[in-house]
Amino acid sequence: MNNKKNNSSATQITRAYIILLTTLMIIVSFATIFVVGLHLVHNKRDDAEQLTTVLKTSFSDYKPDWDYWRDTASINPHNTFVRVTVVPDSGKVRHFYSHRTRKFLRDDFENRPLLKNIQIQTDQGIFYHVKTSERWKHSRVTYEIWLSLNNVVELFKLIIVVVISVMAFGLLIGISAISVLARKLNAPLERLTTATQKINDADTSTHHETLPVPAGPQEVTDLSIEFNRLLTSLNNQVLRDHQFVSDASHELRTPLAAIRGHINLIRRHGNTHPEIVQPSLSTIDTESIRMQHLIDSLLQLSRMDHAELEKQRVLLNDIVQRVADNYHEQLNRELVVNAPHPVHAMVHAESITQMLVALIDNANKYAPGDTPITINLFADSHAVIEVADLGPGISDGAKAHIFDRFYRADTSRSHKIDGSGLGLAIVARLADLNGGAVHVRDNQPQGSVFSLILPIIK
C-alpha cells in the first residue's frame, strides 16, 4: 500500500516539481551570484585603477600626498588601504602607508590567496588586492591597494537568503497546489479502479456491467469509453459463447433422446417383437450420423475461431467447374454455370469449394426439385460467385439471422428439411477468413441469390 502511494502519479508529480524547482532555484542563484559578483569585482578593479592613477599623480618628493589623494579619490579609510614601497637603486627601502593601513596589515595579518587578486584577511574579511610598480627617478615604486569586498559578500548572503526563502515559499505553495490538483485529476481514475474492482470481486456477473464514464479529464473519459467498448465486446462474446453452448447442447439432445428411446424400445420389446429391431436400428443409425455431422460442424466452427487460411492465386473458374461437375449427378436437377470470363482471386481454394458446396446443398434442399440452380462467376471490384435458386426465398426478417449459428428460418418447409443451422454460419466465417463476405438477396421471379464476395486479382 505504501509502495502504491509512493508510485502514485500525485507523488511522482510532486517529486518532479520539487526537483525542478530546486534545480531552477540553484541555477538562478548561482547565475545571479556569478553575474552580480563579476559586476562588483569589475567595479572594484576600476576603483582600484582610479585610485592608483590618483596616487601616482599625488606622489611627489618620495612621499604620497595623502590629503590631496583622499580628497580627489574619495577614499574610505575603513575599507580601503594603500601601501607604497619605494626601492631606490641605492639606499634604504621606504614604506608609506595610508591611514590605518599599518594597523590593517599588522592586525593578525594572514594573506590567503583565494582567486587572483582576491585575498582573505582574518578578522577583516575579503579584499580586492592590486599591486603595480614603476620606475621613478632612480627608484622602483610599488603601489599596493586593498579594497574591501565585504559589502559584496553581504550582498551574496542576501541573495542566497532571498533565493532560499523564495524556494521554500514556492515549494510550500507549489506542493499543496500540486497535491490538490493531482488528487483532483486522480479521483476519476480511482473511481474507475473501484468500479473495476467491484466487478471483479462480484460473485456473479450479468455480463452487462459497465464502468462509470467521468466528465473529465479527457484522457480518463476516453479511457473509460474504450474500456466499456472492450467490456461490451468481451461480454457479448461470453454471451454468444453461452448461447452457443446451450444451443449446441439443445441440438445434441434431440438425436440423443431419439437414440436412447429406440435403445429402450429394443431392450424392452426386441425379444418379443423382433420386427421393431431393424427400423429402430436404422433410426439410431440416422440420428447418430446427424449427431456426427453436428459435432463435425461444431468442431469446425470452434477451430475457425483461431484459424488463419493460407491464401494463394486461384482461378475461380476451375473451382466452380470442378464443383459443378462433381455435384451435377447427385443433384438430379439442372445446374447452370455462367462463367464467361476468367476470374482470379487471392483465396484459400479448398474453403471456396466448401462454401460453394454448402450453398448448392442449401439451394438443393430448400428449392423444389424441378427448379434449376444457377452459378454465376464474374468480376467487378471484387470476384463474385453467386448461387441462385428458384425456391421459397428468405423473408427479410430471416435474412438478418440466417448467418447466425443455429438459426433456422421458421417455415413449415424448413421444419421438414434436415439441418442444424450451422451451414451458413460456417460459410460466413470462411468468407471472412478469406478476406471476403457473403450476402443474400431475393432472386427474380422467386428464390434466393447467395453472393460470395472475394478479393480479386486483376
Question: Given the rule CB under 6 A, which residues bind ligand ADP?
Answer: 362-363, 366, 389, 391-392, 394, 402, 407-409, 414, 419-425, 448
Is the CB of 113 or the CB of 368 nearer to ligand ADP?
368
Q: How far is the CB of 325 from ligand ADP (least distance, A)?
A: 21
Q: How far is the CB of 449 from ligand ADP (least distance, A)?
A: 9
Is the CB of 128 or the CB of 366 nearer to ligand ADP?
366
C-beta separation of 320 from 385 below 8 A:
yes
Q: How far is the CB of 309 from ligand ADP (least distance, A)?
A: 20
Is the CB of 140 or the CB of 441 nearer to ligand ADP?
441
Query: Which residues lie closer than 8 Å to 213 by C-beta, 6 or more apart?
Result: 221, 224, 225, 228
Distance from C-alpha of 450 to C-alpha of 439, rounded to nearest angstrom: 6
Tell me how long the chain is: 458
The distance between the two most distant Cα atoms of the chain, rounded to a whole number of Å, is: 162
Q: How far is the CB of 373 from ligand ADP (least distance, A)?
A: 9
Is the CB of 102 or the CB of 333 nearer to ligand ADP?
333
Q: DSSP class of residue 263?
A: H
Is the CB of 343 or the CB of 424 nearer to ligand ADP?
424
Distance from C-alpha of 246 to C-alpha of 235, rounded to nearest angstrom: 16
What pairs with residue 82 in β-bridges? 145
Q: How far is the CB of 259 from ligand ADP (least distance, A)?
A: 20
State residue 126 phi and psi, 5-degree precision: -100, 140
Is the CB of 347 or the CB of 388 nearer to ligand ADP?
388
Number of Cβ within 10 Å of residue 169's Cβ equals 10
Half-sphere exposure of 372 (CA within 13 A, CB side): 10
The letter for the amino acid at 125 is G
* Nearest position to ligand ADP, beta carbon: 419
Handedness of CA 280, 281, 284, 285 (dihedral sign): negative
Is the CB of 231 or the CB of 373 nearer to ligand ADP?
373
Q: How far is the CB of 266 from ligand ADP (least distance, A)?
A: 29
Nearest to 212 by CA among 187, 244, 237, 234: 187
Q: How far is the CB of 433 from ligand ADP (least distance, A)?
A: 17
